Structure 1
């Protein structure tokens, strides 16, 4: 199947001038007599979609209808009705779906943030039960935009549906080596472990060590800190009782590191200890108040209102002084 845009093709012939379409009466879009905002469609666009509406009304399943949907999809890849009707035709004509995969791949590589083209591909893969090209395609897209939501969504779907977890953590490692702040890659790491081994005691220990080593590289990396928090949700000891994490954060703090993410996790560790009735005097309401003030006034001023809110909450629960002034 060719890939072209009718607005860019000098040899393009309007459907109204094609003899094989002479039996079809085009159906114009109803924009009312006085539309609030009139869209200035190109002649090619209006011509194509007038004929598209006509064949949908007729429920025509034919080769020419399939070709028309190709033109319509190239003109507007985000049109849900075009893709749905195209799928009806593909089924009705029993077309080679591998050819369709090639067609939609070309559009995805040009329109990688378009939900409809990814959905169309997903349906094709479901019909074929063939995911063999999906990881490669998403890697191609992610090599140009490592945080493309649609590519990640498609990748997770195909991995989970067809159990394609092998090698995925190695791929995540490559992405993190390229950009350690890639939140999508951290999310994928969690997704893979959560759906394979799960966060057993040994896996949790390994992942905490891995994450702390990454944080040590760049302590201002919010993505790694968030991943650490996610890991500790699986730790029965809680946020403030993991000895490895406690030793790590206190070592950083004593070295005069004042990353807002470091201070924030210590605040939460303090609040967890206070909420549990104490037990570790190093994690007190008083310390939480001091750190919130530091965050509000010096280290995280962008979120000063949030830290003032935290101060007020701590004060109401513990009786500690909370004035930010």
Structure 2
């Protein structure tokens, strides 16, 4: 930091630090060698399990050890454990992954082990009538929603956490209504329009609501979505997230009147942001859609506008110059 005087370590302190790091590395390598040897021998003992815990604390990205850990549980520990003990072990492993994710929130192997733990939680103990309850599983899913929301509070664009959230919602014994999840994505988007994962989540939730509430309600909600995404486009026309959502909202087979309206809106934005690549790309994309819905005799003016925009794009985005030229050539002279 500027203005803060740095204290230089003595030679003895530096040597002591290096020796400590070397000893730590040596211990890590010996532990790794031991565990890989045990894995090869199919050692499913509690001792091997505890050593795996120790190694994963040091290196939670070691996917081979996560795999070995699951084999120890399946082949060595679970067969001799009661359902209560299995539930307790899996709860401890969920706590282990929670700690690991705080420092490594985007490591696939940690998320993967967390899923495995949840999928192997046994049903709850038998009720007085002899029926097994879903108490443990329900509590676990509720806790997972809390954990993943804290992860997204820390990093709202962590796509691993968003994927995990979708996974939880798909398997939740008593899932929350889709409108609640829609409200959650609205909050995340309004906090940061550049949240691609939140926009994507929205595209998964809205069809569920529209299917349930009917065509008239869908049309009303689509208009509200256009207002939301238009606000995002005008706030930051160079951000890709909202443009991709806008394309999803338009869809592959749009109404020509809707398409014309959105083209006009984007043209207005382009007049304010004349170098906006995404404005120009979207205008080309939507104009090509409109051309496909327009009689042959009325297409030339639109084709000419596309060629003009593609020529400008070649200058604004030279890395994709060949792509733009190819699209222009397909439009003909």
Superposition TM-score tier, normalisation by shorter sequence: 0.7 to 0.9
The match for 2:12 is none
Report which stretch shifted further, 178-187 or 104-113.
Answer: 178-187
Do the aligned partners of 1:274 and 1:283 also contact (CA within 8 Å) in 2? no
The match for 2:147 is 137
The match for 2:62 is 79
Count of paired positions: 278
* 2:183 alignment partner, one of 170, 178, 183: 170
Q: What does 1:288-303 align with in structure 2 at a 5 Å threshold? A: 288-297=306-315, 299-303=316-320
Report which stretch shifted further, 287-296 or 156-165.
Answer: 156-165
Listed as ranges, the gaps of 5+ residues in structure 2 are 1-16, 18-22, 122-136
The match for 1:273 is 290
Report which stretch shifted further, 266-275 or 245-254.
Answer: 245-254
The match for 2:326 is 309
The match for 1:210 is 228
The match for 2:196 is 183
The 1:279/1:221 distance shift into structure 2, 3 A limit, reads farther
The match for 1:153 is 163
The match for 1:124 is 117
Distance 1:88 1:138 in 2: 26
Do the aligned partners of 2:263 and 2:287 also contact (CA within 8 Å) in 1? no
The structure with the largest helix share of the pair is 2
Q: What does 1:186-197 align with in structure 2 at a 5 Å threshold? A: 186-197=199-210
Q: What is the deviation of 1:111? A: 1.7
- Secondary structure at the residue paired with 1:181? coil
- State the Cα deviation string for residues 34-78 of structure 1 (Å, max 9, x = none): xxxxxxx93212321233234334444443222111012223323
Distance 1:191 1:245 in 2: 22
TM-score for the superposition, normalised by structure 1: 0.73
Distance 1:53 1:268 in 2: 54
The match for 1:98 is 91
Distance 2:253 2:284 in 1: 18
Listed as ranges, the gaps of 5+ residues in structure 1 are 1-7, 9-13, 15-40, 321-325
Q: What is the deviation of 1:302? A: 4.7
Distance 1:171 1:245 in 2: 27
Q: What does 1:206-285 align with in structure 2 at a 5 Å threshold? A: 206-233=224-251, 236-237=254-255, 241-253=258-270, 257-276=274-293, 277-278=295-296, 284-285=302-303
TM-score for the superposition, normalised by structure 2: 0.71
Do the aligned partners of 2:259 and 2:286 also contact (CA within 8 Å) in 1? no
- Secondary structure at the residue paired with 1:131? helix
Q: What is the deviation of 1:180? A: 1.2
* 2:102 alignment partner, one of 88, 103, 109: 109
Do the aligned partners of 1:131 and 1:158 also contact (CA within 8 Å) in 2? yes
- Secondary structure at the residue paired with 1:113? coil
Do the aligned partners of 2:94 and 2:114 also contact (CA within 8 Å) in 1? yes
The match for 1:38 is none
Q: What does 1:26-41 align with in structure 2 at a 5 Å threshold? A: none
